[in-house]
Amino acid sequence: MKIIKIDKKTWADGLERLKNQYRVYGPVKEDQGFHTYQPLQDGQQPDLNCLNTRLSPKAIVHPQSHPMFEYSLDEKQADHHIMKPVEAGEISRAVVGVRPCDAKAFQLVKLNFDTPEYKDPYWLNAYAATTFVGLACNDPCSTCFCTTSGCGPFHEEELDILLIDMGEEYAANILTEKGAHLAGAAGWNAVEEEMGMDGRLADQKQAAEAKIRSFVKTDRLREVETTALYEAPFWEEIAFSCINCGTCTYACPTCWCFDIQDETHGQSGKRMRNWDSCMYPLFTLHGSGHNPRSTKIHRVRQRFMHKLKYFVDKYDAGIQCVGCGRCVRLCPVNIDIRKVCGLMNSYDTSACVCPTP
Amino acid sequence: MQNPYLPYPVRIDDILIETEDKNLKTFKFVFLNPEDEERFSYTSGQFAELSVTGKGEIPIGIASSPTEKGFIMFTVNKVGLVSSYLHAMKPGDLMGVRGPLGNCFPWDGMEGKHIVIIGGGFAFTTLRSSIVLMLDPANRGRFKDIHVIYGARSPGMLLYKEEIQAWEKRDDIHVHITVDATDDPDWKYNTGFVPTITEQKAPPGNADTYAIVCGPPIMIKFTQPVLDNLGYDSDHIIMSLENRMKCGIGMCGRCNIGKAFVCKDGPVFTLAQLNQMPKEY
């Protein structure tokens, strides 16, 4: 569409105007020293110096805990024991300062919740009500590997606006109608000088991409046979140090698994959905006591096979990873998806020959 | 947008204790809103989520046949929180049913073929649905010979006893009932494990014969080589799997085997398909 300039001096005022029409989320520094996405109060500014929040912004669309239905167990009520939808009344929301990798993750997660057979109304309604105002990464982290995972520091997919920090001002690349509407609501329209995504911006993009020093290779993942990869000898070593804490799954912008639980208080209650994690034995435990993923090797393998093989085969949309590096930084035992991806991508069954007697 | 998580409200119409240990009960449900029965249009082999309000949901195979109108039927083993609570419920109580979910047995591909049904224990539910479906006068002509091999631990653990005894007397279906062991001197059917009876009674495999196998893992493990010996190709052996489920529509992420979800891409798979998948079931 078009690129406009926003003087940083007028930025805060625009954001305040935005809050009249949107619930505005942005990275906020917590007392403990890390950043999370929070709804911004009047006068509160997002901390746009934050490169990577502790948790991804996925919870804005897929909350950690969310009511699906409500019910009454009181037989005096006419509709007792009947599930009734909890009308969410989706509020327009804007996520300001979302990084391109976290935005791209919504595109991957959408493949799970928006299928030809079934549509998940909770995720899709929240997603439709959200406008993503991205911020390009001029100085990516050392653990970022976005450029080889289908993304990049200036990547535009799923964003409605891409902001580029140019020192005294932001260049705002308006990418969608939703973005144009938001820019209008903030008063960021046409008052600034128009420019193109070339020259200085292109240089800045190239410079940012050159700063990415961490890579994954994914070119062979499709051709390696699922069962061979599943039986590969390296899983035991990868899983050895894992403590199944689930940190990787909670921090990951592309992990979507959830549980459904009824929470009753007295005579009424709600059917809730809550984040779940493939790292936990309960995730797959049968009522009989049998568990198809009974050991941590099973569970660690499931996580990586899902992201780097099953997803790749199922959707032909690359890996289920955007290279944000959160799991690499936060894993308490230093399990590194980049290394695992390398092992899987280079796995050669023909090289594994048993010595003949 | 239709909410695929919203159960249809149902009333428990009838409850029948199936087995001598009282751990298996058959529940007949009637839809509170008659139009929901039309929406719940299913075929044998599919399952549904039974929603016990305040407790949660459990995925259970549909035991009634689409040829039976006015109700739907499920046989539930008492295992965990939801099924235990359900076992304590009474006719008239209200709850929910969500579905139908998953794929049915491949009825179109099996038309004009011999069908061999092999079941063990309480995995006989969708098989009961299948037999009732095939024996319906409108459908019986669509299939050639029908064999049923069904075993349980003891006579008192067989499901749907009266129906099975009635099928046993018919001449358009070959029923071979067996129990692992019994001290009942009047037991007039087979004694022995399902794989052994399969070896003795099942017709040889060929391009015109399909076997549908449902049972506990140990039964499946030992029945498979028997079917191999009888000449059944792996794409003519049809199985139905179970895994822990929540959503039932391929979204919550737990029931996958490789890239396939048991809930949405299954629960029915051929052995040929399973041979290409990790053994996570």
Alpha-carbon distance B112 to B82, whole Å?
40
Residue with token string 């009888």: B230
- DSSP code per residue over A95-131: EEEE-HHHHHHHHHHHHHHB-SS-B-HHHHHHHHTEE
Number of domains forming the structure of chain A: 2
Residue with token string 């029948």: B16
- The maximal CA–CA distance of chain A, rounded, in angstroms, is 80
Contact A269 B94 (CB under 8 A): no
- Over residues B82-122, the pLDDT tens digits come to 999 999 999 999 999 999 999 999 999 999 999 999 999 88
- Which residues in chain B have their CB less than 8 angstroms from residue A259's CB? 246, 252
Domain stops at, among A211, A246, A272: A211
Alpha-carbon distance B12 to B270, whole Å?
34
Tell me if B119 sits within 8 A of B215, measured CB to CB.
Answer: yes
Domain stops at, among A186, A211, A236: A211
Pair of tokens at residue B237: 């052996």
**What sign has the CA pseudo-torsion B43, B49, B52, B58?**
positive
Pair of tokens at residue B187: 């037991």
CATH architecture of B107-240: 3-Layer(aba) Sandwich (3.40)
Radius of gyration for chain A, computed over Cα atoms and rounded to the nearest angstrom: 23
Contact B4 A258 (CB under 8 A): no
- Over residues B210-227, the pLDDT tens digits come to 999 998 888 988 999 999
Q: With respect to residue A78, please indicate whether it lies within any of the assigned structural domains.
A: no
- Which residues in chain B have their CB less than 8 angstroms from residue A121's CB? 1-3
- Residues A18 and A118 grouped into a single domain: yes
- Over residues A289-339, the pLDDT tens digits come to 999 999 999 999 999 999 999 999 999 999 999 999 999 999 999 999 999
Contact B54 A83 (CB under 8 A): no
Rounded to the nearest 5°, which phi and psi values hold at B237?
-110, 120
Contact A117 B281 (CB under 8 A): no
Pair of tokens at residue B200: 């003795």
* Partner residues linked to A162 by β-bridges: A134, A173
- What's residue A91's pLDDT? 87
Between residues 243 and 262 of chain A, which touch chain B (CB distance below 8 Å)? 256-262
Q: How far out from the chain centre does Cα A138 lie?
A: 20
Phi-psi bin for B184: left (phi > 0), alpha (psi -120 to 50), beta? beta
- Which residues in chain A have their CB less than 8 angstroms from residue B281's CB? 292
- Residues A57 and A126 grouped into a single domain: yes
Residue A149 domain boundaries = 2-64+84-211
Closest CA to B57 of B23, B7, B9, B101: B7
- What's residue A33's pLDDT? 87
Q: With respect to residue A76, please indicate whether it lies within any of the assigned structural domains.
A: no
Which DSSP letter does residue A295 get?
A: S
- Over residues A22-66, the pLDDT tens digits come to 999 999 999 888 999 999 999 999 999 988 899 999 999 999 999
- Residues A126 and A17 grouped into a single domain: yes
- Residues A232 and A180 grouped into a single domain: no
For chain A, residues with pLDDT lower than 50 are none
Query: Of A112, A284, A314, which has the smallest distance from its Cβ to B254's Cβ?
Result: A284
Which DSSP letter does residue A195 get?
A: B
Alpha-carbon distance A279 to A276, whole Å?
9
Work out the pLDDT band at B31, boundaries 50, 70, 90. Answer: very high
Between residues 76 and 135 of chain B, which touch chain A (CB distance below 8 Å)? 77, 79-80, 83, 93-96
- What CATH number was assigned to the domain covering residues B8-100? 2.40.30.10
> Residue B38 pLDDT more than 60?
yes
Q: With respect to residue A200, please indicate whether it lies within any of the assigned structural domains.
A: yes
- Residues A230 and A204 grouped into a single domain: no
Tell me if A194 sits within 8 A of A218, measured CB to CB.
Answer: no
> Residue B246 pLDDT more than 70?
yes
Closest CA to B49 of B248, B263, B214, B254: B248
- Residues A156 and A191 grouped into a single domain: yes
Alpha-carbon distance A183 to A4, whole Å?
10
Q: With respect to residue A69, please indicate whether it lies within any of the assigned structural domains.
A: no
CA distance A255 to chain B (A): 9
Domain range summary for chain B, segments of one domain joined by +: 8-100, 107-240
- What's residue A323's pLDDT? 95
Between residues 68 and 97 of chain A, which touch chain B (CB distance below 8 Å)? 68-69, 71, 73, 80-83, 85
- Residues A137 and A248 grouped into a single domain: no
- Residues A113 and A243 grouped into a single domain: no
Q: How many helices (H) and strands (E) does chain A have?
A: 12, 11
CA distance A21 to chain B (A): 25
Tell me if B75 sits within 8 A of B152, measured CB to CB.
Answer: no
CA distance A318 to chain B (A): 14
